[in-house]
Structure 1
């Protein structure tokens, strides 16, 4: 996996923690989980379902996406 970071000091532990959080949340969600890079707090996992449509300011900071694990195709 290639990681692209725009911050001067890359926080690998923070990134991996956010990815783990996104993977856990994705198991029980219909929506994709995104890891975004925040210059103030590091890496944060967000649920796409919390937003009507992701604004470009968030889309530009997405560094990893985990697809939602639930399906409503029954």
Structure 2
């Protein structure tokens, strides 16, 4: 699930998306990506929403937070 926040300052938008990705990663098996977008600035995207990230999204990933849950038990 992608979450976005509208913000006039790109750096603020980035840190808000990063915070969202870090919080979600704690409770997810999937990586959380911060994606750069011309209209939205930055937004957090859960890799679990896609089998493989489409090329148009993968090319815009600026940061990845790895999922914090393990499926090895």
Moved over 2 A (4+): none
Question: C-alpha offsets along residues 4-47 of structure 1, whole Å, 9 cap, x if unaligned?
Answer: xxxxxx71111000000000000000000000001111101000
Asked which structure has the greater CA Rg, the reply is: 1
1:3 paired residue number: none
TM-score w.r.t. structure 1 length?
0.85
Higher strand fraction: Structure 1 or Structure 2?
A: 2
What do you get for the CA RMSD once the two structures are aligned? 1.4
Equivalenced residue count is 66
Match of 1:49 in 2: 48
**In the alignment, which residue of structure 1 is the partner of 2:22?**
23
